[in-house]
Structure 1
Amino acid sequence: MANHKSALKRIRSNEAKRLRNRYQHKTTRNAVKKLREMENKKEAEELFPSVVSMLDKLAKKNIIHANKAANLKSSLAKHVAAL
């Protein structure tokens, strides 16, 4: 167990951040899956910018790697264009 007050605070803040990161990552994964399953081009084009924004935010906060975000955005853009 932690012996310092600051270490106790660090444990609390790490847990809060972990839960926030998990929620954001899961929400983004669900949005990506939803976009991939779409058949309607117009709806996909409306959803695409928000998904790209979510991926950029995750990459900025180092929840996912920047290259992974770029690869996902590229493949989603191809998917939307092919509809």
Structure 2
Amino acid sequence: MANHKSALKRIRNSETKRLRNRYQHKTTRNAIKKLKEADKEEATKLLPSVNSMIDKLAKNNVIHSNKAGHLKSQLAKHVAAL
């Protein structure tokens, strides 16, 4: 257990951030699955919002920037092939 006031605060902040990151990451993964299952018209509409979600995760270091680029590339390729 932490002995300092600042350490206790850090534990509280870390837990809050962890839960927020988990929620955002899971939401993005669900959106990606939805996009992959969609038809051409719906997937085209969903792509910008999913790309935005991926960029936000990368900006906040929830996922690596290279992974974000890879995901966006693969999704664009998927939509183009529909």
TM tier, smaller: over 0.9
SS at match of 2:20: helix
Quote the RMSD (CA, aligned, Å).
0.6
When the two structures are aligned, how many residues end up with a matched partner?
82
- The equivalent residue for 2:73 is 74
TM-score using structure 1 length: 0.96
Structure 2 Cα separation of the partners of residues 37 and 71 of structure 1 = 19
- Mark the runs of 5 or more structure 2 residues left unpaired by the alignment: none
Query: Partner letter of residue 59 of structure 1?
Result: A
1:11 equivalenced with 2:11 (yes/no): yes
- The equivalent residue for 2:23 is 23
1:53 equivalenced with 2:66 (yes/no): no
TM-score using structure 2 length: 0.97
- Mark the runs of 5 or more structure 1 residues left unpaired by the alignment: none
In the TM superposition, residue 37 of structure 1 has moved relative to its aligned partner by 1.3
Q: Percent identity?
A: 77
Structure 2 Cα separation of the partners of residues 50 and 9 of structure 1 = 34
